[in-house]
Amino acid sequence: MFALGPLVHHRYGEVPSLPTLFTKTPLTSSLNYSHRRTPLSIATTTFKSSYRLVRTVGATETDAATTLTQTDVFTDTFPIRRAKKVEGKLIIKLDKGNSEGNWELMVGCTLPGKWILHWGVNYVDDAGSEWDQPPIEMRPPGSIPIKDYAIETPLKLSSKEKEVENLQIVKIEFNNNSSIAAINFVLKDEETGAWYQHKGRDFKISITDCLPGNRETIGSKKGSKKWPGALGQLSSMILKSEGVDSDGIESTNDLKGTNKTSSLQSFCEEHPIVKEEFVDNSVKVSVSTCPETTKKLLYMETDLPGDVVVHWGVCKDDGKNWEIPAEPHPVKTTNFKDKALRTMLQRKGEEGASALFTMDQGLVGFLFVLKNENTWLNCMGNDFYVPLSSSSALETLSTKSQSEGSIQNVLSDTVESESSPISRRDALLDPTTSEYTDEIINEIRSLVTGISSEKKRKTKSKETQETILQEIEKLAAEAYSIFRSPIPTFTVDDISEDIEPESPVKICSGTGSGFEILCQGFNWESHKSGRWYQELQEKATELASLGFTVVWFPPPTESISPEGYMPKDLYNLNSRYGSVDELKTLVKKFHEVDLKVLGDAVLNHRCAHHQNQNGVWNIFGGRLNWDDRAVVADDPHFQGRGNKSSGDNFHAAPNIDHSQDFVRKDLKEWLCWLRKDIGYDGWRLDYVRGFWGGYVKDYMEVTEPYFAVGEYWDSLSYSYGEMDHNQDAHRQRIIDWINATSGTAGAFDVTTKGILHAALERCEYWRLSDEKGKPPGVVGWWPSRAVTFIENHDTGSTQGHWRFPGGKEMQGYAYILTHPGTPSVFYDHIFSHLHPEISALISVRTRNKINCRSTVNITKVERDVYAAIIDEKVAVKIGPGHYEPQHQHGNQNWSLAREGRDYKVWEAS
């Protein structure tokens, strides 16, 4: 893995996509860690102009067989940072001490670095699984208390454990007759900030038998149940490890009233771990002119280890379009799909590798990327570019300087929107970027100025203002996709907070009308009846009367799994839910009662019909009879011959390579067929983490859906087993995906769901406000593209992967049905005892025209209560604490519209 950005998509259409700066690699492990991402500075290339360089050229290339005196046009060194894996062991040893009742726990690590043991204890009479600080006599020398719940103790190089080389250890002594029930810990690498955990959870050493989960703790050989807790944050820089004995840990429940008994046994466990350290390398390029032939000689050398392949081409103008130059080419050069050349660099012993390239006059630039150890690397997300003439080199340097100045001006201008500083990295990649972004900024300013002036004169209609805002959103998405700052640099919703759109409005696939209320029309068991389409048809009128505007249907295609999420023949719509004719009848019925319908489109993966010559299932049948070129190349399970995946792989089925022209063409035709022949109005897009959002934009623009939403679901941020208050990094990933689609699709607000879990489970309602006093999920940054929900077929139903806190569902619905964003109600909830309460809240939302861009004023946020005013029309309170809107807004009369267990909703009268 190399610390270089991804290759720009479609630069020349044929180069495999490259990994981002931090990538996820699926690893079987028992040790996980969470890593706080820190900015990594990579120097940009510099351009030099030197003359009369004398170089001895090896006699391996045409025109370069003799020692020549040449004129140097360009020389520079491009820095490369790669990750080197260092293997070691984490050793956990429990043994008896020197006197009766005394025990000693040793934690050791053989990896180099500065290691810290972050640890705490559970006491016998504790309730729950919270850490406590150990007694002072139990703390080793050098220990430092962390707040009121943990201790940090540095590991030190052991002189006694000579059988293990470079072992750093810490020893904790305790008495078995004390009130300690368990010791919990995680290991921290102080140099990198990485946290080592056990399967994403804390290590737990049980001291007594009173722990219900003591048979599952470290050192135990019995059982295999897993203890609940926060999933360890998946960092994009991977540390791999495999456990030896324990498969999981069970949480500590209420310990009060239990009798402490001891059955401690000595044990020693070793967990192999792998740490990745960054190593700096470089590639040096020099361009000169041969005085005898006037051809350009480009000499390239690098200190990268192992085999190095240069994927290269030339360009004849500033457009930087890849072309194959005329021969001669270096030895070990092959043609890659008539789009580029690939050359294996010649090894120079242990010192590195090099090659000499000879090119004709008239070429403007030399473009390349490198492949080393099966990993592609480039120059900060772009192709390496080398000018081939003095004028082009000077022009490149001049353009670079001007671009920096221009973008600095854009940065200063954009800060006016109260956002954080914008990263210039992506803007510097293209000399035309600053000019392009200046145009976008100017357009946005013009539109915003127009709204402001018309608001003052109150002459422009709400409908016209809405149209302008939608144009601003499109421009903001373009600008944002260029700058890519750690938090949104521009959100249209900040501008439009005091503007209420009125229906009818211009329809946008990312928002629908803006007043949509979504219902998921199935659960995980719906396929079992074999007649779900007929059953759902009977509920069409009721769903419309409740106030829903859009209903999400299950996946319609033939599927290996009965639920539909392992599609096989995309054109075969006879599924476990019903026949294709029943589906058409169902869609027609919903349209008759003025309900839009979403098709569940599984575009990331597809199950094959046949095996290839190696017995791998990657040959497809049916109307879309693709071969293994349609499968991504970096999933070893299915041996695809396509390009590398542009997202995260789904390992249960072949991942489709959307970079292939024929794949995109076929999928567009299929989606258009579903729109026309079946009548779907829009899409719910499954597992969009698996492929680039730009492809989604392509599909949306062709199919023109009424509404579209993607499922981008990954882990939130946790520390020490607790959810972090700041979830900006998590919602940023969802925002990034929406931006990649240019706002043509919204996304499920997984961030808001996770924060609601923590707030309601732990009575920590302060979590529902971010540092700027706004909602902390996607709905706080880009509400018009946030689809809020509390449950779906994966998280709830009979799967229960991430079930909403029991008995608190109505607090969740009180939040999402009164707040901006597009709320989604789960089928199991609307057709349950919650029906009357959900129905009443939908009525409040509809009556007060709460929409996806409504404004939120958080009026109270404390440990036991959250309250907000939405559009000055609706007030909501969730939590057991007290709140009355009259105390906050004395000039307004409020009437109670609905109340239930720990929630209230008022309307302004």
Active site residues: 686, 711
Tokens standing for residue 214: 């003591």
Count of residues for the chain? 909
Question: Smallest Cα–Cα separation from 525: which of 477, 562, 579, 569?
Answer: 562
The sign of the torsion formed by the CA atoms of 672, 676, 678, 680 equals: positive
Backbone angles phi, psi at 590, to 5 degrees: -65, -35
Q: Angle of helix 433-457 relative to helix 390-414, nearest 10 degrees?
A: 20
H-state helical runs in 765-872: 778-781, 809-816, 827-830, 835-847
CA-CA distance, 822 to 18, in Å (whole number)?
Answer: 34
Query: Per 3-state DSSP, what percentage of the chain is helix, strand, and coil (rounded to 5)?
Result: 25, 30, 50
Residue showing tokens 């900040």: 494
Structural Rg of the chain based on CA atoms:
31
User: ∠ CA(281), CA(283), CA(285), 5° rounding?
Assistant: 160
Residue 533 is classified by DSSP as: H
The beta strand positions in 680-818, using DSSP E, are: 682-685, 707-710, 718-719, 722-723, 746-748, 786-788
Backbone angles phi, psi at 479, to 5 degrees: -65, -40
Strand-pairing partners, residue 283, are 78, 302
CA-CA distance, 663 to 629, in Å (whole number)?
Answer: 9
Q: 3-class SS at 401?
A: helix
The sign of the torsion formed by the CA atoms of 436, 442, 443, 445 equals: positive
Q: Do residues 197 and 243 lie in contact, with contact meaning Cβ atoms separated by under 8 Å?
A: no
Give kind and range of the element (H or E) at residue 436.
Answer: helix 433-457
User: ∠ CA(3), CA(605), CA(777), 5° rounding?
Assistant: 60
Q: 3-class SS at 760?
A: helix
Strand-pairing partners, residue 517, are none
Q: Do residues 282 and 79 lie in contact, with contact meaning Cβ atoms separated by under 8 Å?
A: yes
H-state helical runs in 458-531: 462-483, 492-495
| Beta carbons within 8 Å of 887's beta carbon, 6+ residues apart | none
718-719 and 722-723 strand pairing:
antiparallel
Q: 3-class SS at 546?
A: helix
DSSP per residue over 101-132, as a string?
TEEEEEEEE-SSS-EEEEEEEEETT--SS--B
Question: Smallest Cα–Cα separation from 308: which of 332, 285, 288, 340?
Answer: 332
